């Protein structure tokens, strides 16, 4: 919980990724995009994939397991912007047609459904997990089997509640907004 309140809730650790996304949105909104060299495109793509893999494997080290706060602070300050830069490059390359196979894969209809539901899942999951944990009438058992079962339970419950929330709240609001702005 300390990690959640000190890192996930605070504004400053999330500012760099947010600004990177904002800058990427601004760059993508411009009508003229510069053409890049194929060597640069592929080297940035390989670097982005490598950075994503490193960020995934370094994740366990970020959770304040050791007492070296300076090392943890540096790791957090480096990992978030690197992850954001890698994602931004993949989005930029897909949007400009530099990597059409990845763009075709990420444009599959199943990902549209997942994208609609995933934000609702992100918003709902913390409250739903707290409700489940705080309403338990037994001790929490930390073994692999129980943890896997509870993770699947949280995922399925969260997906169902997020789907209902998306269909009942988000979709009608989007439809009303489109009607008010006369954009179909």
- What is the pTM assigned to this prediction? 0.71
- Mean pLDDT is lowest, of 23-27, 35-39, 147-151, for 147-151
Residue pair 89/58 in contact (Cβ under 8 Å)? The answer is: no
Q: Compute the average pLDDT of residues 156-179.
A: 91
| Residue 16 burial (CB count, 10 A) | 17
Categorize the per-residue pLDDT at 4 as very low, low, confident or very high, splitting at 50, 70 and 90. Answer: low
Q: What is the pLDDT of residue 74?
A: 74
For residues 56 and 59, give the distance between their C-alpha atoms in angstroms, rounded to a whole number: 5
Q: Compute the average pLDDT of residues 1-8.
A: 66
Domain assignments of the chain as residue spans, ordered by start:
2-106, 109-181
For residues 90 and 106, give the distance between their C-alpha atoms in angstroms, rounded to a whole number: 11
Residue 58 pLDDT > 80: no
Q: What is the pLDDT of residue 61?
A: 58
Q: Compute the average pLDDT of residues 40-62.
A: 85
Categorize the per-residue pLDDT at 24 as very low, low, confident or very high, splitting at 50, 70 and 90. Answer: very high
């Amino acid at each position: 919980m300390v990690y959640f309140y000190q890192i996930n809730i605070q504004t400053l650790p999330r500012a760099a990724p947010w600004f990177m996304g904002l800058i990427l949105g601004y760059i993508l909104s411009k009508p003229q995009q510069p053409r890049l060299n194929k060597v640069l495109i592929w080297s940035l793509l390989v670097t982005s994939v490598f950075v994503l893999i490193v960020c995934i494997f370094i994740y366990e080290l970020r959770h304040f397991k050791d007492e070296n706060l300076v090392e943890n602070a540096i790791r957090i300050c480096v990992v978030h912007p690197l992850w954001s830069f890698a994602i931004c490059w993949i989005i930029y390359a897909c949007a400009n047609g530099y990597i059409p196979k990845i763009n075709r894969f990420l444009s599959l209809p199943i990902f549209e459904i997942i994208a609609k539901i995933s934000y609702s899942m992100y918003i709902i999951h913390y409250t739903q997990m707290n409700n489940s944990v705080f309403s338990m009438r037994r001790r929490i058992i930390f073994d692999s089997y129980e943890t896997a079962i509870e993770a699947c339970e949280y995922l399925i419950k969260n997906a169902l509640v997020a789907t209902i929330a998306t269909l009942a709240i988000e979709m009608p609001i989007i439809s009303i907004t489109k009607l008010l702005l006369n954009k179909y």
